[in-house]
Amino acid sequence: MKIKWIIVCLFWLAVAGIFAAEPKDVSDCGLLYYAKADFAAADNRAVINNPYIIGALFQVVWSEVEKQDGQYVWTELDGWIKPWLDAGKKVAIRIMWSTSGYWPKPYYKTPTPQWVWHKGAVSAFHKESGTEIPLIWDPVYREYAERFLTEFAARYDGNPNLLFVDVTPGAETNPYRFGTISQRTPEFHAEFTKIKASDGRTYTKELWIGTVKEWIDTAHRIFQKTPLLVTLNVGGLGTEDHSVEIGDYCAAKGFYVGQNGLSGQSFLRTDSGRSAAFVRWAKQTKLFFEMAQKSGGNTGTLMEVMRAAARIGADYVNVYPEDVLRGTTGQRNSDPDAAAALKYGHEMFNRKGTDL
């Protein structure tokens, strides 16, 4: 009799597990127009009306919104968003905490308002690019960055037209932008680890991972309604990859997880490492991927990128603006192959789980 009851209990536990794994709501998933830099201000009606694009992702740089302590100017962001909302589309917003002075706009050199440094926060300065890099574990920096996040949430959290907010700490969970800083000046790595925050702490692996998790906890507390996204990189300065640990932490809290750097060669295998983790996370939350660069070269063709997104089961794909323009009818450099790729990508979200 005892064995019988054990079998019955195991059966009902298995049934409960099946019902707990409810399918994700994919009704708002799709292709996003990456409205970066000058593309954010372009009121291109043809692109907005492209039937294969569900909305746009905009970047917000803290120093451009709160130039004066406690004075928040949202006019520019609201202006970017309005044409899309007027057309019945959605938007997503990425808060850029750590940038690169090698990027084209001058504000990328100074993503943190200057008055934060005057308050006593400490930055790392990359001389070659002129980039001010925040030490996000610095308590003074954290105080005002969290205040900004709170003000942002007070204005936008719960907006039904906002798909998600990318609150990724640091540079895609790294302390700074490796792709444009460490590649050109690898010696900066050692310099960075010696810089003391306002409380005297210097970079360690343990400090960084703890800071990233604290940042995630803070964002989770501040935002009550709008989904949050964290885009994953290795999560530290060393060779050890902490992305799965950070991704697990995010997914357990209901965050969307993603990765910037999607190419046509991505996810050819999904049975190990971060790829296998994305397959697992897809059962818990939504997946976001951004193209490595515009199509061509190492990124591959736009169709190859879309097929890679299909392989991993993406819920959102952030498409470089140049590719959306090429895939939009009536544009100067419109390309039927790009349009076909966008159509394929759009239809992918109605075919999730099939053999693509």
What does the angle CA 25 – CA 338 – CA 318 come to, to the nearest 5 degrees? 40
123-164 pLDDT, tens per residue?
A: 999 999 999 999 999 999 999 999 999 999 999 999 999 999
pLDDT of residue 332: 84
Give the Cα separation of 38 and 34 in Å (integer). 11
The tokens 């989904």 sit on which residue? Answer: 227
- What is the tens place of the pLDDT at every residue in 196-254? 999 999 999 999 999 999 999 999 999 999 999 999 999 999 899 999 999 999 999 99
Domain 30-348 bears CATH identifier 3.20.20.80: yes
Per-residue confidence (pLDDT) for residue 352, from 0 to 100: 58
Mean pLDDT (the chain, rounded): 91
Residue 356 has pLDDT above 80, yes or no: no
Residues 324/342, Cβ–Cβ less than 8 Å? yes
The pLDDT score that the predictor gives to residue 25 is 63
pLDDT of residue 350: 72
Distance CA(265)–CA(168), nearest Å, equals 25
Q: What is the mean pLDDT of residues 163-170?
A: 98
CB distance 95 to 72 below 8 Å: no
d(CA 260, CA 291): 6
Q: What is the pLDDT of residue 24?
A: 56
| Strands 162-166 and 53-61, sheet pairing | unpaired
Q: State the amino acid at position 79 in one-letter form.
A: G
What pLDDT was estimated at residue 26? Answer: 61
Cα–Cα distances (Å) from 19 to 109, 128, 248, in that order, read: 50, 55, 22
pLDDT in tens, 203-215: 999 999 999 999 9
Interval 3-18: pLDDT, tens = 444 333 333 333 333 2
In the prediction, which pLDDT does 231 show? 98
